Amino acid sequence: MKEIISFDHVTFSYDDIPIIENACFSVKEGELIGVFGPNGGGKTTLLKLLMGFIKPNSGRASLFGKSPKESHQNIGYVPQKLPFDPNFPISVLEVVLTGCLSKLPWHGRYSSENEKDAYHALEQVDMVDFSGQAFGTLSGGQAQRVLIARALVSKPKLLLLDEPTAGIDAQTETEIYKQLDELRGKVTIIMVTHHLRIVTEFADRVLLVQRDVTSLDSKELCEHFAIGLYHPPHLKKERS
C-alpha cells in the first residue's frame, strides 16, 4: 500500500513549550489508525499539524507528497468541539453542505451536485430522514453523525476524527463505529479516542501521543500496558 502521510522528526511548540516532539511515523493508504493518549498529550495538536492549521517548528510533515496545507482538499475533519454555535438556525442538510466549502467555485453557491453528495453523505451515517431538521435540535449522537457526514461530503481521501463518540451512549457509539467500519479501506481514517477497547478491536494500528508519538500494533496495546505507559506530559518535561 502507498504511503500517504509521513512525519519526519516533527516538533511543535506553543510559546516555547514543546507539545509534539520529534514525531516520526508514516501512514499507508486505507489504514484505520487510532490515536490514543492522556488529556493534553497532543492528540488534537497532531491532527492540526496534519491539516496544516499549524506548522512544525522543525522537521517535515508531508501528506500525499505535498505539505499538509496544500493537501487540505483531501481531508475530511470531525472536530472535537462543535465548529459553530449549536443555536444558529441551520438545517442538517446545510451543516453537511458546509463541508463542501473548500471546493466551492468563485461564486460560492452550492450546486445540485453538492446537494446530491450531501444527501449521500447523510445516507452513509443513516441520518437522511433528518435533513430538514434544525441542527440545534438533534441529540448528541445524531449531531455527531451529521458532523461525520459533513466531513465525508467532499469525498476525502483522509478522514480525521477527534473523539467522535465523546459523551455518546454505548448503542449510538457502536452504530457510529459500524458506519466507520464500512468506510474501512475506502478512505484512510485517523481517529482520536479515549476508548481503549475501540482502539484495540477496531484500529489496525495505534499512535500513542504523549508529547512523543509511538506507533504500536493494536494487539500490542493491552489495557495494562497502556496504563503503565501513561504519564502526565509535564512530569516527562521535568525529567528531560
Instruction: Return residues touching ligand ATP (CB under 6 A).
Output: 14, 19, 37, 39-45, 80
Give me the residue label for grid cell 431538521: 133
Chain residues 39-98 in contact with Mg ion, contact rule CB under 5 A: 43-44, 80
The type of residue at 180 is: L
Q: How far is CA 59 from CA 2, 7, 24, 150, 233, in A?
A: 22, 8, 9, 32, 21
The type of residue at 57 is: N
Extract the C-alpha cell encoding 8: 519526519
Q: Give least dist CB 162 to ligand ATP, A.
A: 7
Cα–Cα distance measured from residue 236 to residue 240, given in angstroms and rounded to the nearest whole number: 6
Q: Give least dist CB 206 to ligand ATP, A.
A: 14
Backbone angles phi, psi at 157, to 5 degrees: -90, -20
Q: Give least dist CB 4 to Mg ion, A.
A: 23
Cα–Cα distance measured from residue 220 to residue 229, given in angstroms and rounded to the nearest whole number: 12
Extract the C-alpha cell encoding 139: 441529540
131 binds, among ligand ATP, Mg ion, none (CB under 5 to 8 A by kind): none
14 binds, among Mg ion, ligand ATP, none (CB under 5 to 8 A by kind): ligand ATP
Of 44 and 114, nearer to ligand ATP (C-beta) is 44
Chain residues 202-231 in contact with Mg ion, contact rule CB under 5 A: none
Q: Give least dist CB 23 to ligand ATP, A.
A: 12
Q: Give least dist CB 38 to ligand ATP, A.
A: 7
Backbone angles phi, psi at 44, to 5 degrees: -65, -40
171 binds, among ligand ATP, Mg ion, none (CB under 5 to 8 A by kind): none
Give me the residue label for grid cell 470531525: 78
Q: Which stretch binds Mg ion (CB under 5 A): 3-11, 36-44, 56-64, 122-130?
A: 36-44
Enter the DSSP assignment of 105: -
Of 92 and 207, nearer to ligand ATP (C-beta) is 207
Q: Which residues bind Mg ion (CB under 5 A)?
A: 43-44, 80
